[in-house]
A and B are shown apart, each in its own frame.
Chain A
Amino acid sequence: MTGSRRTIRSGEPDGALRTSGRSGFSTLLRSEWTKFVTVRGWLVGLLVAALVTILIGTVSALGGNLECTGPDGQICAAHVPPLDASGAAVPDSFTFVHRPLDGDGSLTVRLDALTGDGGALHDWAKAGIIVKQNATAGSPYAAMMMTGDHGVRLQDNYFGDRAGPAISVSDGLPVWLRLTRVGDELTGSVSADGSTWSQVGTATVSGLPGSVLIGMFVASPEQIQTTQRFGGSDSSGGPTRATAVFDTISGQGALGDWTGTRIGGSAGDPEPVADFAENGGTFTMTGSGDIAPSVAGPEGNTVERSLVGVFAGLIVMIVIGSLFITAEYRKGMIRTTFAAEPRRVRVLVAKAVVLGGVSFAVGLVASAFAFWLVGSIEQSNGKYLLPVPVLTQLRVIAGTAALLALSAVLALAVGIMVRRAAGTVAAVTLLAVVPYILAVASILPAGPAEWLLRVTPAAGFAIQQSTSQYPQVEAAYFPSTGFFPLAPWAGFAVLVGWTVLALGLAALVVRRRDVS
């Protein structure tokens, strides 16, 4: 009200008449707000959107299998990977033959063979030299290694990965590896003959103590075979083992005898024993496991699973968003609206602000509540959820609310162009929700599903992804297992792009067209 009063100039009756129709933006917002909150059906709709979001997540959690519970009701230790220094879950499990290293030093080995069980070597089987803070799983390290099918690599602290020459030892030719420690800097080198060396890189592992462990290691990750079928995907697989043969071992600075340790052995083992044999300076070691970041499994141990019901809330929001404008066209109310504010684009903006604001607020409450409720149900069920930084949790929750708000505004913009509720709801649902369902429920094969999640507004669902995809970890990276083809903010930007484009087109259309 105050806004409209300010715009009326004193004196001129003519001016007053002209400007009275052009109220301030706050008045416009207020009138759109009044329209929104006085329609009972839309308020009920908001409530339904929040409820279905929470209910579907709860039902999914209740229908989960009891994963594993220990004697005191805790999650089984075998299901909980160790945490690294930053608090991220990291599988850290391998066979380690080591000796202490005080201060600077190096180790040089010749890797004669790297073979898998039954002749099948995992692409990411790893064997080489590692410098590790101590024998505790999750402690900092740097490793110079030969892999099954990805050449020589220098990796550090679970996330760092540098590629070296793409060679292999499977054809019988040995490869020489060297890892040198100078303070916090670890330099990896590779050689084909033991005399000409080429440097692969230097990794900085901050906070390494003076005394560390240095030695040879071998690991071989789980083999995962995923078959996509209608209504889900089947994952099968199991642990693999790799055997490495090292000899011509020489070192500087390292002291003492070699000790074999099985790092990160399963909790059932009373005494983890390393599988290795030494014969005249030749070490034959067999290992299983991986030294890498944790990747969400097909069983869905991610926090965003709690928000699986959002797509249903999204359909409700799309219905509300389209009715917010098409009801005005249907009932002729739009004439009154435009008579009161002839600048139609401002009406459009006011409607978008009110609708976006309301749906964001409701979405925030619903997603935060679902996140908390479903998370607690899963934890009381003994399900292990991958730890996620607080900022990522906030991004998942607020991003979900923004997803709801943007889709509602998209429906509003399309509603202005189409002017029919049925067409608007159908079009926006088909664009923004159905691609997600076709992809997540494995109705489509992974190829077209990922393509849809790149170009349609449904790409915005990527904002919910809390875990990352790592090229150095082989896993089932499919939409059905929670991995989107676009990064979270990139996917979100696609949705923003669609919404902005639709609003722009709606502004053009609404200005050029006759009122209704």
Chain B
Amino acid sequence: MPTRPTMHVLGCTRLPAALHAEWTKFRTVPGPSAALQAMVMSTIGLSAAAAAASTCGAPTCPQDPVRISLTGVSLGQALVVVFAVQLLGAEFGTGMIGTTLAAIPGRRTVMLAKATLLTAVVLATGIVATVGSWLTGRILLLGTGFIAENGSALPGLSDGPTLRAVAGSALYLVLVGLLSVGVAAAVRDSAVTIGTVLAVLYLFPVVITMVSNPDWHRFLQQIAPMNAGLAIQNTVDLGSAPIGPWAGLGVLSCWAAAGLLLGGLLLGRRDV
């Protein structure tokens, strides 16, 4: 029996092997990649629907065109949750987690490998989804009056705020995925994990709509994972937003870190 510190060191040296194992699982199980394909399609689809329905009338466009063209992220995130749950939660359901942990006893290594794989894969597909949404939205919005004459120029990706919104939305999806991995490790049941994460994400926007007290309203928008996180999509009128773009993504990072920490601790302590 190795002592605890040795196990830890042993686990760390096994990270490349663990990553390779996770990558193989990801490649060979059809569910996870199907979830990501659905994520890309639903993100672009909903963004296109939102862009097609938005009109910009004289004298000014009140809306944020970049934000409209990235609307689909609010739907695509649900499929990132499904993906994250398939990555970890499904292993609890099938008993695969026993095999995984027998092969790599360092549980933190397993969590780290899964989180790393999720970050890489969701970032890659997330960029496809957000750039695709932005491009589709841009074409549609130009057709519905979002033009310079109406006071709404649609800058290209070289524009700082636009790039921040498009790339930041992909980061948003990654953070949602990391939060889900943490919850999945803590809850150990796919269905309950999906229900919990979706409730946490979608609960705040509805409650915020119903709350009319301006102080509560602002406070909830600042702490809600979805509302604060999606502040990264703001490109105009940043001063009136309840939270800045990067600060908002920071709030979501705190949620994701808290989820991962909780999941990691519980996974480390509990019997499989």
Contacts and interface: CB of A to CB of B under 8 A. Distances in A.
Among A56, A311, A316, A425: residue with most chain B CB under 10 A: A425
A422 B78 contact: no
A63 B217 contact: yes
A318 B195 CA distance: 8
A206 to B, nearest CB: 40
Given A229-B63, A305-B210, A424 B203 contact: no
A484 to B, nearest CB: 15
Given A231-B227, A421-B190, A319 B82 contact: no
Contacts of B71: 443-444
A322 interface: yes
A445 B71 CA distance: 10
B contact residues, range? 35 or more
Contacts of B158: none
A330 interface: yes
B76 to A, nearest CB: 11
A316 B54 contact: no
A323 B50 contact: no
Contacts of B230: 230
A321 to B, nearest CB: 10
B62 A231 contact: no
Interface string B209-253: 111111011001100000100100000000000000000000000
For the residues of A in contact with B, the DSSP-based class is helix
B208 interface: yes
B90 A441 contact: no
A448 B199 contact: no
Nearest to A429: B198
B74 interface: yes
A88 B89 CA distance: 53
B75 interface: yes
A64 interface: yes
A65 interface: yes
B78 A299 contact: no
Contacts of A424: 191
Interface in A477-493: 480
A53 to B, nearest CB: 12
A70 interface: no
A308 B207 contact: yes
A312 B213 contact: no
A207 interface: no
B110 interface: no
Contacts of A305: 210
Contact of A425 (B54, B194, B214): B194
A contact residues, range? 35 or more
A430 B54 contact: no
A376 B194 CA distance: 34
Contacts of A319: 191-192, 194-195
Contacts of B192: 319, 323
Contacts of A299: 212
A280 interface: no
Interface in B52-82: 52-54, 62-64, 67-68, 71, 74-75, 78-79, 81-82
Given A60-B210, A319-B191, A434-B202, A422 B86 contact: yes
Given A426-B82, A445-B53, A322 B63 contact: no
A52 B205 contact: no
Interface in A428-468: 429-430, 433-434, 437-438, 440-448
Contact of A63 (B81, B85, B206, B213): B213
A473 B79 CA distance: 41
Among B46, B53, B208, B209: residue with most chain A CB under 10 A: B209
A250 B249 CA distance: 72
A448 B74 CA distance: 14
A232 interface: yes
A229 B242 CA distance: 14
Contacts of A430: 75, 78
Given A229-B62, A425-B194, A443-B205, A312 B74 contact: no
10 tightest A-B CB contacts, nearest first: A63-B211, A421-B191, A422-B190, A447-B53, A441-B205, A60-B210, A63-B216, A319-B195, A448-B49, A445-B53
11 contacts: A60-B211, A227-B62, A300-B212, A323-B189, A426-B78, A429-B195, A437-B206, A438-B74, A444-B50, A445-B53, A446-B53
Given A315-B195, A438-B46, A444-B50, 7 more contacts: A63-B210, A323-B189, A422-B194, A438-B75, A444-B71, A446-B53, A447-B53
